[in-house]
Structure 1
Amino acid sequence: MTTEAKLSTRQRNLLTMLNLLQQDSSQSAKDLSTQTGLSIVSINKLLDVLDNKQLITNGFLNTPGRRAKTYQLRADAGKLGIIQLIENNGKIQITYFLCDLLGQVYLRKEAAKSLDSLDYLLDFIKNMAAKDQPDKIIVGIPGVELNALLQISDVQSLQGINLSAAITTATGIDSSIVNDVNASTYGANEKSSSENITVGIYFPKSFGPGVGIVINNHLLHGADGLTGEIQFGTVSSENKTQEIIQHLQNIISLLNPNLVIAYVEKLNLSDTEISHIKQTIDRKLPLHQNYSLNFDHNFENDYLTGLIAIGRRQFLRERVLN
């Protein structure tokens, strides 16, 4: 894959434009010029390229004395097949979503049974994709892909598998793998317009917790791709509430984030327990004043939002580079 350092100036500018058009439903050439620092002439040339690639559509905005031409990302420029693997009572549930680039879901289908083998997962994806073929498949997994193989996974049958290659071979469709907590944190961050540090920590019921870190709208993966694998940390407690407190204290003290999201809905904590966690963190970290600790986000919703957003960015990048 082409790295950012190897992108041409025009490719970087095109991706910047598409990023802005994802964040706002409709913008004029003047709006884009103001935000990018590029001249109107340069903006119009870039818009022509995006139009030729059938990635944008245009409309008009009535302003005093004139009609301003506006541009927005084409929702139907591509279709994404989203596979969401998620824990449900100790088992891994499989759900397929077909959506457009703006996240409109056209199809949602849950597998008849929980994930028990690679073959079952591949057959399910193949059958779903055959009905209305997506342009790209994005799979969210509770685990980490290193050197193209699933080295850490809550699903033993997928351990050591090149899952993206297996899906592409089975379906003929380009696919990519995304860690579940990375996706949920990225999805939560998508809802914030400002650049910041967002950290999400997810506590499944039957597996170990995981962390996602987004800094200025970029996922942090780490030198070995292991950022967020807090199971390798030193926190250990028989008491779940104390374990949560220790993890949150470490995250806030080390990263000093703007927003920390604790996904604890699987644990069925009481309001009293959550209040105790918040009060304890406040007491232990008196100098940390400018962070928000949120227990109200829904993991599955943020997870889906993140998978769509990551899939959209990957799809648009590939269209720009090809």
Structure 2
Amino acid sequence: MQGNIPEKMRQRNLHLILKTIITEGSLSVKQLATYTGLSVMSVHNLINVLQAYHLIKTDPHPVKTRGRSAACFVADTTTFSLLSIRIFEHLNGMTAKLEIIDLGGKRLAGILEQPISTPESLLNLAQQLLKTVNRRPQGTIIGLPGAEIASKVSISDLPGWHDVKLSRYFYEQTAIKTTIINDVTALTYGAIGKLDSDGSAVGLYYPLNFGPGMGIVLHGHSENGTTGMAGEIASGPAYQGQTFPIAATEFQKIVARDVLNVATILDPQAVFIYAPAHPQLDAEQLQATVQADQPLLTHCQLKLDGDFDDDYCFGLLRFGREIIYRDLIN
């Protein structure tokens, strides 16, 4: 059974209109029809649905066409909100930064970076923050150095967090739908979202005392593999026997090797490299090494040490926003 095909097409078109408005900004019905290939009548009907869901609103500044004013529509980012939790690893442990943001990324409330040791300590911070706002968020999104596989936290650098059913635990304690995202996947999704929301990119993150992680985004969609293990580059043969921290004299060579390996396999338009705790990489030398070894990768941009926290935050926002939209539309 293929399900209700007309309804699936309607949902797809609603997502298409919404994504186009988010990406392109204020657009009229005619402009939306041009961007999406849908008929003007279809766009009108879809606009009415999205307005009823409070996902878009009329732009107070209409567009002028041939002397007449045409209504334009923009995303309504203020109706819904998201509890965003970013977990960071440090030399002596882990910290978390919690914020409640609207779907445009505006910070409504927050807690400065605090140390955490257990899921309970993280939940306590979240509950403290939730008490400060008048309306509850529609979703919680948690970025952490690991993944949730079969509903359990796995491959995490957080001691004592293995096999914890973190998303269920948070949902049971807060009654807010919770999603777990790998930190490097969030970084990569945020970074490529600033360049091209439909783009392809790889993110490589090198913490000081742990193995590196990798995030993969292909054509605007994150790739986690069959079980969620995609991106665990440190588990592969290239890192067998490797000790951490990586010696400063070896670091540039190892990063160049990793970039070549992932770029030749995935052919991304950009590779984002985050290594804030390591000696500074020579960007020009790294680019020259990659292009000398693989001349066909001249199109691939190498971007070093972007705004780690901002990319992390924006990636979680993008994931959380899409989950809220999907739940409303589907």
The TM-score, its normalising length taken from structure 2, stands at: 0.90
Shift in CA distance, 102/194, structure 1 to aligned 2, threshold 3 Å:
closer
Partner Cα separation in structure 2 for residue 294 and residue 19 of structure 1:
26
What stretches of structure 1 move > 4 A for 4+ residues in a row?
3-7
Alignment of 1:1-80 (within 5 A): 8-59=8-59, 60-80=62-82
Matched, 1:182 2:191: no
Q: Which residue of 1 aligns with 2:307?
A: 298
Shift in CA distance, 216/5, structure 1 to aligned 2, threshold 3 Å:
farther
Shift in CA distance, 5/234, structure 1 to aligned 2, threshold 3 Å:
farther
Alignment of 1:75-86 (within 5 A): 75-86=77-88
Matched, 1:116 2:117: yes
The offset of 1:283, in angstroms, is 2.5
Q: Secondary structure at the match of 2:160?
A: helix
Q: Which residue of 2 aligns with 1:320?
A: 329
Alignment of 1:114-263 (within 5 A): 114-132=115-133, 133-193=136-196, 195-236=198-239, 237=242, 239-263=250-274
The offset of 1:134, in angstroms, is 1.4
Q: Which residue of 2 aligns with 1:285?
A: 294
Q: Which residue of 2 aligns with 1:98?
A: 100
- Given that residues 198 and 221 in structure 2 are in contact (C-alpha distance below 8 angstroms), is that contact kept between their aligned partners in structure 1? no
Partner Cα separation in structure 1 for residue 237 and residue 92 of structure 2:
24
Q: Summarize deviations over 1:192-220 as a string: whole Å, max 9, x none.
A: 23743211111111221111111111111
Shift in CA distance, 194/135, structure 1 to aligned 2, threshold 3 Å:
closer
Instruction: List alignment gaps of at least 5 residues for structure 2.
Output: none
Shift in CA distance, 54/226, structure 1 to aligned 2, threshold 3 Å:
same
The offset of 1:165, in angstroms, is 0.7
Q: Summarize deviations over 1:108-164 as a string: whole Å, max 9, x none.
A: 31254x221121111111111222221211100110111111121111222101101
Partner Cα separation in structure 2 for residue 55 and residue 10 of structure 1:
16
Partner Cα separation in structure 2 for residue 154 and residue 6 of structure 1:
45
Q: Summarize deviations over 1:54-97 as a string: whole Å, max 9, x none.
A: 21110222344111100111011201110000123342110011
Partner Cα separation in structure 1 for residue 129 and residue 38 of structure 2:
43
Partner Cα separation in structure 2 for residue 244 and residue 4 of structure 1:
48
Partner Cα separation in structure 2 for residue 4 and residue 28 of structure 1:
30
The offset of 1:49, in angstroms, is 0.8
Amino acid in structure 2 at the alignment position of 1:248: V
- Given that residues 109 and 132 in structure 2 are in contact (C-alpha distance below 8 angstroms), is that contact kept between their aligned partners in structure 1? no
Amino acid in structure 2 at the alignment position of 1:263: Y
Larger deviation, residues 306-315 vs 239-248: 239-248
- Given that residues 152 and 159 in structure 1 are in contact (C-alpha distance below 8 angstroms), is that contact kept between their aligned partners in structure 2? yes
Shift in CA distance, 216/234, structure 1 to aligned 2, threshold 3 Å:
same
- Given that residues 185 and 212 in structure 1 are in contact (C-alpha distance below 8 angstroms), is that contact kept between their aligned partners in structure 2? yes
Amino acid in structure 1 at the alignment position of 2:64: N
The offset of 1:232, in angstroms, is 1.5
Q: Secondary structure at the match of 2:131?
A: helix
Partner Cα separation in structure 1 for residue 96 and residue 7 of structure 2:
36
- Given that residues 235 and 243 in structure 1 are in contact (C-alpha distance below 8 angstroms), is that contact kept between their aligned partners in structure 2? no
Partner Cα separation in structure 2 for residue 7 and residue 252 of structure 1:
39
Matched, 1:266 2:268: no
Cα RMSD over matched residues?
A: 2.0
Partner Cα separation in structure 2 for residue 43 and residue 278 of structure 1:
45
Q: How many equivalent residue pairs?
A: 316
Partner Cα separation in structure 2 for residue 286 and residue 116 of structure 1:
46
